[in-house]
Amino acid sequence: MDNHDDFPDDQAVPAALARGVEVVRAFVKTLPDAPGVYRMLNAKGDVLYVGKAKSLKKRVANYTQVARLSHRIQRMVAETSEMMVVRTHTEAEALLLESNLIKKLKPRYNVLLRDDKSFPYILITDDHEFPQVIKHRGSRSRKGHYFGPFASAGAVNRTIAVLQRAFMLRNCSDSVFAQRTRPCLQFHIKRCTAPCVNMVSREDYAKQVEQARAYLTGKSREIQEQMAAAMQAASDRMDYEEAAKFRDRLRALTSLQTRQDINFDGIGDVDAIALAMREGRSCVQVFFFRGGQNFGNRAYFPRHERDEEPETILAAFIAQFYESKPIPPHILISHDIQDASVIEDALNSRPNVERKTSIACPQRGERRRLIDFVTNNARDALDRHLLERAGDAQLLDGVAELFGLDERPNRIEIYDNSHISGTDMVGAMVVAGPEGFMKSAYRKFNIRDASASDDYGMMQEVMSRRFRKAQEEGNGPGSEDWPDLLLIDGGLGQLNAVMETLADMGISEELNVVSIAKGPDRNAGREKFFMPGREMFQLPVNNATLHYLQRLRDEAHRFAIGAHRTRRAKHIGASPLDDVPGIGAKRKKALLLHFGSAQDVVRAGIADLEKVEGISHAVAERIYAYFHETDS
């Protein structure tokens, strides 16, 4: 993040700085010599910075010693008009509150980790006599054994595919399992032993499950030795078909290990975190190891000032990263951080800690080799990121020049609608900026009020809901979430509809709006652009800015279609029985098996409904009344 120039000239800075220092000095007089969290606010009430302290009085008093402050901190103090404080019992509590407030308020002078994604897991269920292996994301509400986190859904899918080949566990849902009368394709391609039709005993299937659990907890060598011994035993008794099965299972496990790039014996459950910096930017690379196996890695590019110290960035990253993420027993880092013991105490006090964690910066041995490996990956990722960012910066400069913007846009919002003959109407918003697509900021709007044939009305509804919510939340012009450019997928009609809605809300002058329409025969490269007060214009087919805008438009189109398909699939799969009070999954299954379809249930009388197992007279009356009651 670049330094902010919020003052008209250098002479104005000392005067503003003096006012800010007086605000801080007056506030210090009211502070206790105790742990807590403080907030610095500007004249608009926006939070500039959130900090924690072992002693609030001593920490905040440092801001009055101007000569010791960096230029960036002087700017922050100069903008400060008010301060707030929350006292805590310990410094660890202060750290927890600080990281929570930073993620919620996004102060511009703090190091900020911009990531809200949860990590996927592998779940081997434990609520069925024949457990299934599935991908899981979200809260761990289902009974079973969870393995992870994995860095990506792709890593989970690949691992599950190998687990099925090696241990032949089912991945079908319980309802599909219950309805099977013959083995499915998974059995025929040797990825399941078909417990659904009793092709394997409960005891033998339990052994398969136990082997899979053991493998995922790091006992891979032991499992491979068992399979190798079983293969040899089958070969010795000349049961070559059985030996071939074990051979194929061993190959599956070997293929998974060769794709994991790097593994360390005895490393156990560890997150390895390394930071690389260049040109005022940083990359934090995180590798996940569980049971000594590499479960993948992910690169992060936190927001911070150019002159921020690596140790400060890394400490802030760890505090924010583990706020909602699983905490391993060991965290290895590339830089020594001053508050490591405080961060340890804070992490160990969180409810998602299964075992006490420790933070260490190894200096030698196998763990140092691991950190060096992660650091090299961080450097490579940062180099790629800087190259991409340089290219994106040029493209954004081209957008600013093309549309007459005062400066390079930091936030572009692109809108599109999707529906089929007016059904399952969805509006979509995607967001792009200097860092590329900001997927955590994407939004979809289920169209409620616009009519099926009113494309303009759909876009107006989306605009109204997007910006009325922003006004209600105080995220108006000047805020971080306020767009520098709106790009509308459509022609002049869509542009006029959007401008009409924005004018009704009194913000048409606060936004730059452009619509992009496909050219004749919907040919890419012949797009037409429309802006208020400007004639329609086009760009040369080989123009780089045009290609960038096409990419933005296509991403909005992709997201809109995906949201529409999800909504349509939900409606297609819905049953009239879903909303009947007192009808759960078990009774619904019994009704469908008895009558054959939901519509036959709707047409059934009370006497017929009572014949279904588990449906009492009272429940039958309730079902009948639900479908046949008339308005009085």
Residues contacting residue 521 through CB under 8 Å, at least 6 positions apart: none
Confidence category of residue 11, pLDDT binned at 50, 70, 90:
very low
Q: Is a pLDDT exceeding 80 seen at residue 9? A: no
Q: Is a pLDDT exceeding 70 seen at residue 622? A: yes
* Nearest CA-CA partner of 193 in 145, 245, 255, 146: 245
Residues contacting residue 372 through CB under 8 Å, at least 6 positions apart: none
Q: What is the mean pLDDT of residues 415-429?
A: 77
Sheet strands side by side (includes 47-53): 47-53, 36-41, 82-87
Confidence category of residue 140, pLDDT binned at 50, 70, 90:
confident
Helix (H) and strand (E) counts in the chain: 20, 19
> Domain 270-384 belongs to what architecture?
2-Layer Sandwich (3.30)
Q: What is the mean pLDDT of residues 238-244?
A: 83
> Helices 340-348 and 310-321, interaxial angle, to 10°?
0
* Nearest CA-CA partner of 84 in 114, 68, 105, 113: 105
Query: How far apart are alpha carbons 562 and 424 in whole angstroms?
Result: 12
Two tokens, residue 359? 């933070």
**Residue 498 main-chain phi, psi, to 5 deg:** -65, -45
3-state helix, strand, coil in the chain (%, to 5): 45, 20, 35
Segment 437-443 long-range contacts (CB within 8 Å, at least 24 positions apart): 437/555, 438/114, 438/411, 440/114, 440/115, 440/116, 440/117, 441/481, 442/559
* 45-54, 117-126, 211-220 — most confident range: 45-54
Q: What is the mean pLDDT of residues 470-483?
A: 83
Annotated domain spans of the chain: 12-105, 121-258, 270-384, 412-571, 576-628
Query: How far apart are alpha carbons 265 and 171 in whole angstroms?
Result: 30
Q: What is the pTM of this model?
A: 0.69
pLDDT digits (tens, 9 = 90+) for 491-550: 999 999 999 999 999 998 889 999 999 866 555 668 899 999 899 999 988 888 999 999
- Mean pLDDT (the chain, rounded): 85
3-state secondary structure of 425: strand
Residues contacting residue 357 through CB under 8 Å, at least 6 positions apart: 327, 328, 329, 330, 331, 344, 347, 348
pLDDT for the residue numbered 236: 86
Share of the chain above pLDDT 90, in %: 42
For residue 552, how many C-alpha atoms fall within 13 Å in the half-sphere facing its CB? 32
pLDDT for the residue numbered 25: 93
Q: Which DSSP state fits 55?
A: S
273 versus 618: the higher-pLDDT residue is 273
pLDDT for the residue numbered 165: 86
3-state secondary structure of 144: strand
Q: Are 313 and 278 in contact (CB under 8 A)?
A: no
CA distance between the termini of the chain: 64
**Residue 427 main-chain phi, psi, to 5 deg:** -105, 145
Same topology for domains 412-571 and 576-628, yes or no?
A: no
The secondary element (H helix, E strand) that includes residue 286 is: strand 281-290
pLDDT for the residue numbered 263: 58
Query: How far apart are alpha carbons 197 and 180 in whole angstroms?
Result: 7
pLDDT for the residue numbered 375: 95
pLDDT for the residue numbered 602: 84
Q: Is a pLDDT exceeding 80 seen at residue 218? A: no
CATH T-level topology, domain 12-105: GIY-YIG endonuclease (3.40.1440)
Burial 263-279 (b: 16+ CB within 10 A, else e): ebeebebbbbbbbbbee
CATH homologous superfamily of 412-571: UvrC, RNAse H endonuclease domain (3.30.420.340)
Q: Is a pLDDT exceeding 70 seen at residue 561? A: yes
Q: What is the mean pLDDT of residues 224-244?
A: 84
Q: Is a pLDDT exceeding 50 seen at residue 246? A: yes
CATH T-level topology, domain 576-628: DNA polymerase; domain 1 (1.10.150)
* Low-confidence winner among 91-105, 258-272, 299-313, 320-334 (lowest mean pLDDT): 258-272
| E strand segments, 391-484 | 412-420, 423-433, 436-437, 443-446
Q: Is a pLDDT exceeding 80 seen at residue 214? A: yes
Q: Is a pLDDT exceeding 90 seen at residue 552? A: yes
pLDDT for the residue numbered 292: 78
Query: How far apart are alpha carbons 299 and 573 in whole angstroms?
Result: 37
Two tokens, residue 327? 């905490």
**Residue 300 main-chain phi, psi, to 5 deg:** -125, 145
Query: How far apart are alpha carbons 577 and 336 in whole angstroms?
Result: 59
pLDDT for the residue numbered 5: 42
Q: Is a pLDDT exceeding 50 seen at residue 7? A: no
Q: Is a pLDDT exceeding 80 seen at residue 2? A: no
Query: How far apart are alpha carbons 572 and 341 in whole angstroms?
Result: 54
Q: Which DSSP state fits 441?
A: G
Confidence category of residue 458, pLDDT binned at 50, 70, 90:
confident
pLDDT digits (tens, 9 = 90+) for 42-96: 988 889 999 999 999 999 999 999 888 888 899 999 999 999 999 999 999 999 9
258 versus 598: the higher-pLDDT residue is 598
* Low-confidence winner among 76-85, 220-229, 457-466 (lowest mean pLDDT): 220-229
